[in-house]
Structure formats: structure tokens, C-alpha cells
Amino acid sequence: MPRTELFPPIDPYQTGLLQVDAVHSLYWEQSGSPRGVPVIFLHGGPGAGASPTHRRFFDPSHYRIIIMDQRGAGRSTPLGEVRNNTTEHLIADLELLRTQLGIARWHVFGGSWGSTLALSYAQACPDRCIGLILRGIFLMRRSEIDWFLHGMRTIFPEAWTNFVNFLPPEERGDLLESYYRRLTSPDHAIRMGAARVWSMYEGACSTLLPSPELLSASGEDNHALSLARIEAHYFRNNLFTPENRLLDRIDRIRHIPAVIVQGRYDIVCPIMSADELHRAWPEADYNVVPDAGHSAMEPGIRSALVAATERFRNLT
């Protein structure tokens, strides 16, 4: 039987900071086998950052596990920075890190916004990708952003009401602009107040059943600030042109082995986008987890992702 449980906790054998421009320094780490098959883990958000748990999707005896906190996220500095922060910058960062580490090709593993970045990177650099493992598909389209800001109320009306009622009535006409103004305010208290509400709104909608642990983590200051600021920045400034760019360019990556893992009841990144991606890319293996929401830590999602990394052991 293929393994479906997370691997035991491990520590990195190497960490570093990658100075990518005059503003940003990016945290990166390596764990697992120094001579293993390389895999890069792309966290979600954008802005969520990575955690030690993310190393555990991969067999450390087989994989050389590389994790990088993207611009403004996690242990990268400055925290929550939106200057020089676009998809194109992040793709260039991945190439710089890959070159610095002496890696010719690697697996790319990304969930939620990480799936967006993984698809974007693979379409820009297909020859650098051994395989793709994608979870909770998000294609950065206006309809998906509108769903996040307004549509999730149909399933989580209590969370959405808290999200909207944080703003005074006169600021509720354009939720994204109102939150963006607050998240980029020079006043730290104003920034943090908006960041916590935004992050906890997303956290409350991310699991099939309520998760007090996830909600608590969503309200942590550093996580909330980087997630909310960078998400609002990307939602406002970094839509793709044309909007269906990731679907339109599937031919660039059709030959790359891929697994798509999607929770049936994912409310943050609804299954429609994963279904559209699979219809455009039927060669990719498509695994709909019937009893899961959005979080990678949902039991069924977690198991499907580990099974995918185990299956990809045959690819080098």
C-alpha cells in the first residue's frame, strides 16, 4: 500500500537568505537527502509563508526538499513588503535560487496561490520541471477574487459578516480597496487590525469542519500581516493578462507529469477552477477528495499529497 501519512518531523541541514534586490531578502532551506531528487515547495497566500510541517510531505531519504518563503512572507524580509512583488519577480526568484543551489531540474509542489505560482513558473521554465503536484487550484481571475470577497458568504455568512462589519458602513462599497488602504496605512495599529480580520476570515473558511487551531494560527501577528497585505496587493495589482493566461498556455506544460488534488468542498478556491484546469489538461491526474475543504492539512488532502509525492519517486 502506498504511504499516505506525513513523514516524521525533520530539521533543515542548510538555511540561508537570498538577496534578490535592494529591497527583498528571501529565506530558504534544504532538508532531506542532499543527493536526493530536488523538489521545491511553494507556499500559498500569496504571503502565507512556509512552516516546518511542509517538509513532511516528502520522503527525506529520497527527496532534496527545498522551501523558500516568497517576497514579504514568513522569514523573508521585509515582512509584508509589497514593493517589487509580482508573479514575474517570484518566477525570477525561483530561477535564481535553483541556479544558486546547482539544480538542473526539480519537482514543483504548490497549493492554493502556490498552484498559481507553480503553473506560472512551469509555463515560463518548462524544461526545469520534472513533475508538478498542485493543490487547491487558483488561477488568479477576477471571478475567483470576487468569490473570495463576496461569494464565500453563501457558505460562511458568519465569517463574511465579521469580515465586512470590521469596516465602517461608508467603506463597504469596495471591500478590496477599503482593506488595501488600511493594510498599507502608515499606522501599525490600523494595519494589524485589518490584517487579523482578513486572515481570520480566510482561516475560518479553509476547512470542512471548524478548526480552532487553524483559526488561532490565522490571527498570529506576523502571519496575518504578510498574508493580508500581500494577498490584497496581488488581488488589486497582479491580475493576469489575458485573464485565462494559465489555461491558454497549457500546451507549454502538457508533457510534464502532473497531479491535481482538490477538495470537493473547498470554499476558498472552489472546485470549478480545478475542473477547468483538468478539462484543459486531461493528461494531468485529477484527484477530487470527497470529504475535504481547502487546507492542505485536511486529512484527505494531506493523504493525497503524500501519495502523489510517493508516486513521483519514479520520476528523476
Q: What integer best gives the mean pLDDT of the chain?
A: 97
DSSP letters spanning the chain: ----SPPPP---SEEEEEE-SSS-EEEEEEEE-TTSEEEEEE-STTTT---GGGGGGS-TTTEEEEEEPPTTSTTSBSTT--TT-SHHHHHHHHHHHHHHTT-S-EEEEEETHHHHHHHHHHHH-GGGEEEEEEES-----HHHHHHHHTGGGGT-HHHHHHHHHTS-GGG-SSHHHHHHHHHT-S-HHHHHHHHHHHHHHHHHTSSSS--HHHHHHHTSHHHHHHHHHHHHHHHHH---SSTTHHHHTGGGTTTS-EEEEEETT-SSS-HHHHHHHHHH-TTSEEEEETT--S-TTSHHHHHHHHHHHHHGGG--
pLDDT of 199 reads 98
pLDDT of 73 reads 98
pLDDT of 4 reads 81
- Checking if the pLDDT of 50 tops 90, the result is yes
Percent of the chain with pLDDT over 70: 100
Burial class (CB in 10 A: 0-12, 13-18, 19+), 113: buried
Taking the CA of residue 213 as centre, how many other CA atoms within 13 Å lie in the half-sphere pointing to its CB? 5
**What is the topology classification, in CATH, of domain 14-141+240-314?**
Rossmann fold (3.40.50)
For residue 314, what pLDDT band results from cuts at 50, 70 and 90?
A: confident
Mean pLDDT, residues 48-77 taken together: 98
pLDDT of 126 reads 98
- Checking if the pLDDT of 17 tops 80, the result is yes
Mean pLDDT, residues 119-133 taken together: 98
pLDDT of 76 reads 98
All cell numbers assigned to 313? 519517486
pLDDT of 185 reads 97
Mean pLDDT, residues 133-155 taken together: 98
Q: Tell me which residues are annotated as active site.
A: 112, 266, 294
pTM above 0.95, yes or no: yes
For residue 315, what pLDDT band results from cuts at 50, 70 and 90?
A: confident
- Checking if the pLDDT of 80 tops 80, the result is yes
Query: Which residues is 260 bridged to in the sheet?
Result: 134, 286
- Checking if the pLDDT of 187 tops 90, the result is yes
For residue 215, what pLDDT band results from cuts at 50, 70 and 90?
A: confident
Residues forming CATH 3.40.50.1820 domain(s) in the chain = 14-141+240-314
- Checking if the pLDDT of 316 tops 80, the result is no
